[in-house]
Amino acid sequence: MTLIASHRGGALHWPENSPTAFRNTAALAVDQVEFDIHPTADGAIVVHHDATLDRTTSGTGPLATHTLAELRALTLKGTADEHMLTLAELAALFAPTPITLRMEIKPDHAHRPYPGLLAAALAVLDAAGLRGRTVVTSFLADTVAEAAGTPGLAGAIWLVAPAVQDDIGLGGIEAVARDIGCKAVGIRENRLDATVLAALRAPGLSVGAWAVNSDDAIRRVLALEVDVFTTDIPLAALAIRG
């Protein structure tokens, strides 16, 4: 069965990466909850998509230059008075559910990896007993390589940007995945078809889709029988999958 991941907690249903979005996702029959993490200036880990604060909060500037207390003082846009969660809080919310955590490791505002972020996140997940229920994803091949070499995780997925797909082709994707020890890749929905799927599965890769955000796109990836897809409309995805 194709698995459904609620992207940013269902970003077209509720404010993305918000407590409301994650509480509502926790009550759904989705298979995975997708979220993004960044470190704070004082060593905490928070759940937020962008490396900067401007688009989704009342703050401005790079997230990682702010302390947790400073971030707690900000309001998430689209909410009455909600604040970004820490990774520990999100883990506590989903620990009682059967839902797998799909954790994307983001780069900083200059598109550089955060040193030590995966190890710090794993310490939080271990404290919650959730390492074995966590899949790590990233567009950064080196980050995926680190995750793929980390024992106890439920998986590591290399997210392939369309520009990378154009640049290196399907053979290049397979070669990079092999080199970094990754057994799963994610392809943008509008760049995935039966030919691409077959080519990537031939060497044994698991293939998922991302940005599956319309009813037609959901039906298409289900017909292709991809392994998993992320969607901002998990309610629609569940209804269509049945």
Give the pLDDT score at 209: 99
Non-local (6+) Cβ contacts of 124 within 8 A are: 45, 87, 88, 91
What sign has the CA pseudo-torsion 181, 149, 154, 36? negative
Mean pLDDT, residues 18-34 taken together: 99
- pLDDT one-digit tens code per residue, 96-113: 999 999 999 999 999 999
* Nearest-angstrom CA–CA distance, 38 and 1: 32
- pLDDT one-digit tens code per residue, 48-100: 999 999 999 999 999 999 999 999 999 999 999 999 999 999 999 999 999 99
Q: Is 166 exposed, middle or buried (0-12, 13-18, 19+ CB in 10 A)?
A: exposed
* Nearest-angstrom CA–CA distance, 44 and 64: 10
Q: Quick one: fold of 3-51+86-241?
A: TIM Barrel (3.20.20)
- pLDDT one-digit tens code per residue, 173-222: 999 999 999 999 999 999 999 999 999 999 999 999 999 999 999 999 99
CB contact at 8 A, 58 and 75? yes
H-helix or E-strand containing 99?
none
Give the pLDDT score at 94: 99
- pLDDT one-digit tens code per residue, 4-20: 999 999 999 999 999 99
